[in-house]
Every structure is written in structure tokens, then in C-alpha cells.
Structure 1
Amino acid sequence: MPRAVYVLGLAIFAQGTSELMLAGLLPEMAGDLGVSVPRAGLLISAFALGMLAGAPVLAVLTLRWPHRRSLLLFLALFAASHVAGALTPGYWVLFATRVAGAFVYAGFWAVAAVVAVGLVPEGARGKAMGIVAGGLTLATIVGLPAGTVIGQHLGWRAAFWTVAVMSAASMAAVAVTVPAGRPEGRAPRLRDEVRALATPRVWLAYATTALSTGALLVTFSYLGALLTHTTGLAERWVPAVLAVYGVGALIGITLGGRTADTRAVPTLYVGIGSLAAVSALLALTMGSPVPVIGLVFLLGAFGFATNPTLNTRVFTLAAGAPTLAAAVNVSSFNVGITAGPWLGGLALDAGAGYEATAWIGVALAVAALGAVALGRALERRPAGEREKGAELPAMNV
């Protein structure tokens, strides 16, 4: 595996730490900025907003750039946004820096995926993306608690400075390891990439990404409250259980990276189907600590086992549009990240218990399985029929 692939994973770790660490810093930030904790919590939503829009926009704007130049620019802007955030005394300026930082982070994700799969043989794409995406898993296990500790002892601004320094260090590593040119040899054309995306199978793959991600996040987002209010665990045990989830996620994404290239569809069926089963069992046993802890581990394992396949499958289905395919897939992940917690919040606001979040996860996972099955059925159709089906969206437009 080329060194650049590991460097890209470490860069995702640096940026992903910023994505996650606010969950442990909200009380300190609220007190320092003079806002309520719910208002400080909107800074997390600001990051999600930037991620949702950033990947496709930046993919188009930098489509013909050398990949290394794009990655270095995105990292520089990400580091600068954190310097500005650490220096600002005002809430809304910080809000703007969160949107801007997430915007370029999404662009980095999209280009990093293209670089990673372009540096390895086709049969190693899943493993490469498992390493790159594993940076975010590492941020869950190490970055989140480390950022929380730094923020609690040195102030939340110190956590922002730390992310800025890690991002600058990532820039140096990217400059040394990522090739200067483009692996495909020539700059792509936007028209060609858009045309390559206009197939139902690609959009079913995006639907699978969004639905399966939402199925995981709808439960995970409320896991801390679930453990204390329904399972009955003391608050001091919550970080340990979250670490169990992180270990499961790391194991899952590692194993999933080994099967993504050779058994992509079975990996999706097993991973998403098991996620549905684990969510159902969690809903049924939520009041008992022992099974819940084991199920939280499995939730992380099966939830992340499909990640490499979800990341690489679009490159096969839209081989002529690698940059836009990766960019829209990043947005699809963020649709799930946004929609899952929102649906869970609607259920809780309506008076349902935390069991409802797990049942929503079951429903979303079943819908994701349906998208996989439909996409698989389209793949098995004769080539002429597939092409005819691919023309339908353009005719409707």
C-alpha cells in the first residue's frame, strides 16, 4: 500500500477530530461565548451543513486541478479556519468558520478518495479506502476523547489550535507523498463526468449510502442519553461504552476493507442486514446493561464494515466520473448523518422512548437493503436495457 494512502488517512484523522470533538466541549464553549448549550450545539449542525455542500461544489471547481494542489489548498484553508475560530471572541464568526472548515473538509474527502483508489490496483481499492476512512474511526477512538481532555484542561481554543497544527503537519506529509500529477493522465471534463453519473444504478448506490448511514447514526447520536436514561448506566461508564463502539468500528472497517473489492454486494447484504438485526435487538434489550454493551460493539462493527464498499462501489458504477462520483457520495454520507439524528429527534419530541431510535434504524436499514437489491437487479439486466434505463432521467429532464 503506498505511503500516500496512510498519509491521507492521517489527514482525515486530523480533520475528523474537529468534526467530533465539539460533542465533548459544548459546556465550555457555551460559557466562554455567552450562549446556551443548545445554541453552542448548532455549531455541530454548522459543520454538517458545510460537509453536505462542500464536496460537489469543490469537486467541480477543482476538477481539472492536479490532485496534490487541491489537497494542499483544502488543508491550508481548514487549518486557517481553525486559527480564526480559536482567535474569535464571537459566536457567529465561529459559526462561519465551522461551515467554512467543513466545506473544504468535504472537498478533501472527495479528492482523497480519488487519489487513494488511483494509486492502487483495482483489487485493492477497498483496502485503500478502509485505511483512508479508518482515519475517521481513529478520530472517534482517540481524537474525540483527546480533544475533550485538551479542551477541559487548557480551554476549547487550545483544542482548535491543536487541530490547526495537525492539519499543517498533514500538509507537509501530503506534499511529500502524493504525486504531483493526475493518475489518469489527463484532466477530466465536467460534461463527461456528469454524463457518467446519469445512471439509475449510481443513484441507487448513493441511496444505499445515505440510508445505511442514517440507520447507524439515528441510534448512535442518542447513545449517551440512551445508556443513562434507559439502560441505567452511570454517566462515568458512558465514555467506556463509546470506546467499545469505537473498537467495534475499527474492527469492522478493517474487515470490510478486505472484502469490499472481491465480495462487494455480499458485504453490503451482510453488513446492512446485521445492522438491522442489531438495532432490533438493541430496541428489545435496551433496559439490560450486559446485552446492550455487546450490541453497541456490534453496532460499530457492522455499521462501519460496509464503509469501504460504499466508498469504492461508486467508482465501479461510474468509472468515467471518478471525481464527481466520490464527491456526491460524500454528500450522500452527510445526508444520512443529518437525516438519521433528525428522524430520531422527531420521534423523541413526539414522546417516544429511545427504543424508537433503534426501530427507525431498522426501517432505514431495510430500505437500504432494498436499494442494494434493486441496484443488483439492474446490473443483471442486459446491457441494452440498462442503457435504455439510463436514458430515462435525461428524457424526463
Structure 2
Amino acid sequence: MPMALYALTVGAFGIGVTEFVIMGLLLQVSGDLGVSVPAAGMLITAYALGVFVGAPVLTLATRRLPRKSTLMMLMGIFTIGNLACALAPTYEALMGARLVTALAHGTFFGVGSVLAAQLVAPDKRASAIALMFSGLTLATLAGVPLGAWIGLAYGWRSTFAMVTVIGALALAALIFFVPKDRATADLAPLSEELAVLRRPQVLLALLTTVFGFGSVFAVISYIQPMLVELAGFSKAAVSPILLVFGGGLFIGNIAGGKLADRWPVAALLGTVAALAISLGLMTFAVHSQFWAVVFTGLLGVTAFATVAPLQIRVLEQAGGAGQGLASSLNIAAFNLGNALGAGLGGYVIEHGPGLEALPLTGAVITLAGLGVAAASLAVGRGAPTAASPPV
């Protein structure tokens, strides 16, 4: 694989740490800033909404810039935003800093996904995208548990200081390894890119992403209080358990990419169905320490097994001039699902059955995504797939 792919992976690692590490810090942040756990959980929702807004807006705003310049600018925004998080004196300031940080997320993965797919042969596109997204899984495997441990030992602000350093290192990797390119002179008209929004199959694919992956955040956003209050673990035990979750993400991401390369349709339906099943079974496991750990790892496997199939589905249905925008919109769809899932999870905790019901809530959301995917495939059977640009 080209070194540029590994540079993208480093950037994805930094973004993954800042997105996911807050899940292991909810109790510390809520205690230090004097807010409830669901209110602290809104920091996850706000980040996801920032990605949802920033992804399409910045993708269109930077469409004429060289890809390398765009990626460097985005990583600079990310690094400054994390520094602001580390220095935030109040809950409101932290919320604002998280929003700024989130703006770079969607466009980075959108531009990066298209670049990754164009750096390799057509039959390796899903694996190349999976390699870039492995930065997220490695972040969860190593960065998030380390960040949670640092937050427990030295305070949550130290964790964001660590992420700031990671962002600076990622920026250096992009500078050195992503090849220089020129601004696109023969860019398709904006109307052609926006036309992707009028394609029913693209919209259905995006909706599948919202439901299919959003369910994960209804559970994982509150994994720390679930493990502490339901399974009876200590706060210190959460970091090692997050290693299990991160290992599951890594395995699922690689497996999903391999499956999507060979059987894209079967991989899409199979991985979303597996996610629904794992969430449903997790409902019966949350009070047992052993099974809580097992299903936390299984949730990681099934969650990230969906990423490459979902991303490939959107790219295939967009094709041509719409791929860049569609790719960023799919990242936005992931995060809209994340926001809705985290928000719904907080509502279930405060106004519903409580923490115990979160896995079942996630399973129901995933089944909705599976239904949308099945309907999309049924409607689109026999219809031509949008042409992809040459690699």
C-alpha cells in the first residue's frame, strides 16, 4: 500500500482518539464541570452534529483546493480545537471547542476515502478505505484506553493535551507523505456534484448509514456508566475493557473491508444484521461482568464491520463527479446517526427504562437500517450503478 495511505491512517488515528475518548471520561467531566452524565453525553452529540454540518459544507468549500492542502488545513483545525478543549474553563467552552474540532472530521474522511480509493487498483478499494479507517480502530484500541487512563490519573484536560500532540504528529505525517497535487482545473460544475442528492439510491444508502451505525452510539456513548453501574466494574477497570472494544473494532474493520471487496451486497446486509443481533444479545449480558466484556468486544467487531460496506455502497451509487460530496455526506450520515443514537440513549436513561434498555434500543435502530438497506437493494435491482471515475 502507498505511504500516503498510512499518512491518512495517522490522521484518522488522531481524529478517532478525540471522537471516542470522551466516552471514557464522562464521569470525570460531569463531576469536574458540575453537570449530569447525560449532559456530559451531549458533548458526544455536539461533536457528531459538528461533523454532520461540517462535512458537506467544507467539502464544497474546498473542492477546488489541492487535496494535500485541504487535508493539512483540516488537521490544523483539528489540532487547534483540541488545544481549546484542554484549556476550556467551562462546560459551554468545552462544548464550543468540541464543535470546532468536529468541523474537520467529515471532510477529512470524505476527501481521504476518495484519495485512498484512487491510490489502488479497483479490486482493492474497500481494503484501502478500511486501512485508512483502521486509524479509528487503532485509536480505540490504544489511544482511547490510554486517554481514559490519563484522564483518571491526571485529569481529563491532560487527555485533550495528549490528543493535541497526536494532531500535530498527524499533520507532520500528512506534510511528508501525501504527494503534492494541483488544484483541479477541469472540475465538474457544482450542479453536477449536487445532483447526487437527487439520486434515490444514494439517499437510501445514506439513510442506511444513519440507522445502521447510529445504534452503536446509543450504547457505546454510555459504556462507562453501564460497566460501572450495571456490571459492577470499578472506574479503573473501564480502560482495559475499552481495549477489548478497540480490538473488536480493528478485527471488524479489516473483515468488513475484505468481505466488501468480494461480496459488497452480502457484506452490507450481513454486517448490519450481525450488529443488530449482537446488540439484542447484549441486553441479556450487561449485568454479568464476563459477558459484558465479551459483548463489548463483539459490539466492536460488528460495528466496524459495517463501515467499509456502507462507504463502498455510497461511492458506487454516487459515481463520477458526485463521489467526493457523497463520501463526505456518508461520514456526515455516520455522525448524524451517532448524534441521534447518543441523544436517544440519554433520553432512555433520563426518561425511560434506564441504562439496561440501551442495547435493545440500539438493536431496534439497527433493524430499521437493515430494512432500509433491503428496500434499497430491492428497488435498485436491475438498475444501472452510477459510473465510477477511472482509478
TM-score for the superposition, normalised by structure 1 = 0.87
In the alignment, which residue of structure 1 is the partner of 2:266?
Answer: 266
| 2:44–2:221 contact (8 Å) kept in structure 1 | no
1:255-314 Cα distance to aligned partner (Å, 9 max, x none): 111121221111122211112222222223443333333222222111111111112221
Is the Cα–Cα contact under 8 Å of residues 250 and 301 in structure 1 kept in the other structure?
Answer: yes
* Matched residue, 1:381: 382
How far apart are residue 54 of structure 1 and its match?
A: 0.6
Letter in 2 for 1:373: A
Aligned amino acid, residue 337 of structure 1 = N
Answer yes or no: is 1:239 the counterpart of 2:224. Answer: no
User: Is 1:345 paired with 2:346?
Assistant: yes
| Post-superposition CA distance 1:212-257 (Å, at most 9, x none) | 1122222222333333433444544433333222211111111111
Tell me, yes or no, if the aligned pair for 1:13 and 1:138 is still in contact at 8 Å: yes
**Secondary structure of 1:181 counterpart:** coil
Larger CA deviation: 18-27 vs 35-44: 35-44
Which residue identity lines up with residue 5 of structure 1 in the other structure?
A: L
Which range is displaced more, 225-234 or 198-207?
225-234
- Tell me whether 150-159 or 328-337 shows the greater mean CA deviation: 150-159
Q: 1:220 to 1:2 in 2, by over 3 A?
A: same
Structure 2 unaligned spans of 5+: 387-391
Cα pair 1:63 1:190 within 8 Å, conserved: no
* Distance in 2 of aligned mates of 1:177 and 1:191: 33
* Range moving further from structure 2, 315-324 or 224-233: 224-233
Q: Which residue of 1 aligns with 2:9?
A: 9
What's the counterpart of residue 389 of structure 2?
none
**Contact 1:14–1:167 under 8 Å retained in 2:** yes
Q: Identity of counterpart residues, as a percentage?
A: 35
What amino acid does structure 1 have at the position aligned with 2:35?
S
C-alpha displacement of 1:53 = 0.7
Alignment partners' CA distance in 2, 1:110 and 1:28? 32
Q: Deviations over 1:95-141 (max 9, x none)?
A: 32221111122221221112111211221111111111111111112
Q: Which position in structure 2 is the counterpart of 1:19?
A: 19
Partner of 1:365: 366
- Residue-by-residue CA offset, 1:3-38 (whole Å, 9 max, x unaligned): 111111111111221222233445655676x54355
Give the 3 Å change call, closer, same or farther, for CA 294–80 of structure 1 in structure 2.
closer
Q: Give the equivalent residue in structure 1 for 2:188.
A: 188
Query: What residue number does 2:201 align with?
Result: 201
Q: Secondary structure of 2:210's partner?
A: helix
Q: Would you say the 8 A contact 2:66–2:183 is kept in 1? A: no
2:249–2:303 contact (8 Å) kept in structure 1: yes
Q: Secondary structure at the match of 2:261?
A: coil
Quick one: which amino acid aligns to residue 362 of structure 1?
A
Amino acid at match of 1:100: V
- 1:327-376 Cα offsets, whole Å, 9 max, x none, are 11011001111111222333333341444222222222221111111121
Superposition map of 1:174-185 within 5 A: 174-181=174-181
Structural mapping, 1:261-340, within 5 Å: 261-320=261-320, 321-340=322-341
The alignment partner of 2:64 has SS state of coil
State the aligned residue count: 384
Note the C-alpha offset of 1:325.
0.4
192-201 vs 236-245, greater mean Cα deviation:
236-245
Q: Is the 8 A contact 2:205 2:376 kept in 1?
A: yes
Give, in whole Å, the separation in 2 of the partners of 1:173 and 1:217.
30
Q: CA deviation at 1:45?
A: 3.5
- Residue by residue over 1:156-198, the C-alpha shift from the partner in whole angstroms, topping out at 9 and shown as x without a partner, is 4443333222222222221222232269884333211111342
Q: Is the alpha carbon distance of 1:42 and 1:224 closer, same or farther for their aligned partners in structure 2, counting shifts above 3 Å?
A: closer
> Residue 278 of structure 1 aligns to which amino acid in structure 2?
S
Q: Is the 8 A contact 2:215 2:338 kept in 1?
A: no
Deviation at 1:152? 4.2
Distance change >3 Å, CA 186–CA 6, structure 1 → 2: farther
Q: Deviations over 1:83-102 (max 9, x none)?
A: 34444545544432221111
Distance, in Å, in 2 between the alignment partners of 1:237 and 1:187 is: 52
Residue type at the aligned position of 1:263: W
2:283 match: secondary structure: helix
What is the distance in 1 between the residues matched to 2:275 and 2:354? 20
After alignment, is 11-20 or 340-349 more displaced?
A: 340-349
Between the aligned partners of 2:231 and 2:285, the Cα distance in structure 1 is 9
Paired amino acid for 2:267: T
In structure 2, the partner of 1:163 is 163
Question: Could you say which structure has the larger radius of gyration?
Answer: 1
CA contact (8 A) 1:119 1:183 kept: no
Letter aligned with residue 226 of structure 1: M
Q: How does 1:96-135 map to 2 (within 5 A)?
A: 96-135=96-135
> Secondary structure of 1:187's partner?
coil
The CA RMSD over aligned residues, in Å, is 2.6
1:56-71 to 2 correspondence within 5 Å? 56-71=56-71
Q: Which amino acid aligns with 2:171?
A: M
C-alpha deviation, 1:59, in angstroms: 0.6
2:19 aligned with 1:36, yes or no?
A: no
CA distance in 1 between counterparts of 2:99 and 2:27 reads 20
Aligned pairs (5 A) from 1:206-221: 206-221=206-221
TM-score, scaled relative to structure 2? 0.89
8 Å CA contact retained: 2:24, 2:238 = no
Gap change, CA 1:214 and 1:67, over 3 Å in 2: same
Q: 1:91 to 1:293 in 2, by over 3 A?
A: closer
The more displaced of 316-325 and 144-153 is 144-153
Contact 1:65–1:187 under 8 Å retained in 2: no
The residue identity in structure 2 corresponding to 1:347 is V
